């Protein structure tokens, strides 16, 4: 606990706010499922999938490629401090493009705006300070679904016919071809597409 960069803000809300967060979360998840907004390869932020499911799907695809005598390489992308670096304006833009209503988008914009934080260290309370317009509250039921919706453009940018992506908290790309050299070319193209998107 002595390394300040390891500190993470957590959301401490009143009971009514917690209830409203759960209602909005349920609405976001329902609409995402009804309109199939979250790709099948995205396992986070859904009611019935888990990290284990992502791992099992990836293992299945790798074993299938090996049976077909394909070379398999794995590209992984782990965004450091992902929840703390979600850009609010990009998130709202993504939600609008996905077809979420103005009411939902405006509520979320307001919910994420003008956030403040305060530290208590050894019983001493520091003054409130303004948080930047990035990050989604850890500990909130909204965080998993918002991060999944936010990452949809990333998954779209990484689509390649010879690579299947799996996402939970990180992005995994097993690439299959006749050689590892071809896989490196595929992975390089995926990275270029991701960099152009973000």
With respect to residue 95, please indicate whether it lies within any of the assigned structural domains: yes
Contact 122, 2 (CB under 8 A): no
With respect to residue 42, please indicate whether it lies within any of the assigned structural domains: yes
Tokens standing for 68?
């077909």
With respect to residue 6, please indicate whether it lies within any of the assigned structural domains: no
> Comparing 13 with 197, which gets the higher pLDDT?
197
Whether this prediction's pTM lies above 0.95 is answered by: no
Which uninterrupted H or E stretch holds 88? helix 88-97
Contact 29, 149 (CB under 8 A): no
pLDDT at residue 168 greater than cutoff 60: no
Q: Residue 68: count other Cβ atoms within 10 Å of its Cβ.
A: 8
pLDDT band at 12 (very low <50, low <70, confident <90, very high): low
With respect to residue 122, please indicate whether it lies within any of the assigned structural domains: no
With respect to residue 126, please indicate whether it lies within any of the assigned structural domains: no
Q: Residue 116's beta-bridge partner residues?
A: 130
pLDDT at residue 1 greater than cutoff 60: no
Give the per-residue pLDDT at 56: 87
What percentage of the chain carries pLDDT values higher than 90? 35
pLDDT at residue 174 greater than cutoff 90: no
Tally of domains in the chain: 1
Q: For all residues of the chain together, what is the average pLDDT?
A: 84
With respect to residue 170, please indicate whether it lies within any of the assigned structural domains: yes
Question: What sign does the dihedral 12-17-22-28 (CA atoms) show?
Answer: negative
Q: What are phi and psi of 94, to 5 degrees?
A: -60, -45
Q: Measure the CA dihedral 7/44/195/75, to 10°.
A: 100
Which residue range is the domain that position 178 belongs to? 15-113+132-197
CA–CA dist 62, 104 (Å, integer)? 39
pLDDT at residue 127 greater than cutoff 70: yes
pLDDT at residue 166 greater than cutoff 70: no
With respect to residue 3, please indicate whether it lies within any of the assigned structural domains: no
With respect to residue 7, please indicate whether it lies within any of the assigned structural domains: no
Q: Is 164 strand, coil or helix?
A: coil
Q: Is 136 strand, coil or helix?
A: coil
Give the per-residue pLDDT at 5: 66
Q: Would you give the distance in Å from CA 112 to the centre of its chain?
A: 16
């Amino acid at each position: 606990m002595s390394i300040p960069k390891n500190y993470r803000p957590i959301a401490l809300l009143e009971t009514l706010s917690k209830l409203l967060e759960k209602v909005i979360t349920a609405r976001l998840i329902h609409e995402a499922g009804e309109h199939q907004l979250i790709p099948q390869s995205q396992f986070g932020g859904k009611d019935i999938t888990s990290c284990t499911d992502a791992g099992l799907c990836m293992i299945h695809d790798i074993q299938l490629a090996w049976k077909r005598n394909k070379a398999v390489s794995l590209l992984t992308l782990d965004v450091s401090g992902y929840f703390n670096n979600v850009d609010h304006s990009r998130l709202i833009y993504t939600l609008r493009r996905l077809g979420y209503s103005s009411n939902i988008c405006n509520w979320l914009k307001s919910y994420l705006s003008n956030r403040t934080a305060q530290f208590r260290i050894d019983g001493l309370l520091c003054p409130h300070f303004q948080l930047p317009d990035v990050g989604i509250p850890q500990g909130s039921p909204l965080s998993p679904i918002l991060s999944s919706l936010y990452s949809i453009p990333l998954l779209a940018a990484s689509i390649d016919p010879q690579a299947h992506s799996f996402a939970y908290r990180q992005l995994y790309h097993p690439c299959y071809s006749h050689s590892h050299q071809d896989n490196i070319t595929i992975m390089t193209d995926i990275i270029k597409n991701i960099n152009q998107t973000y």
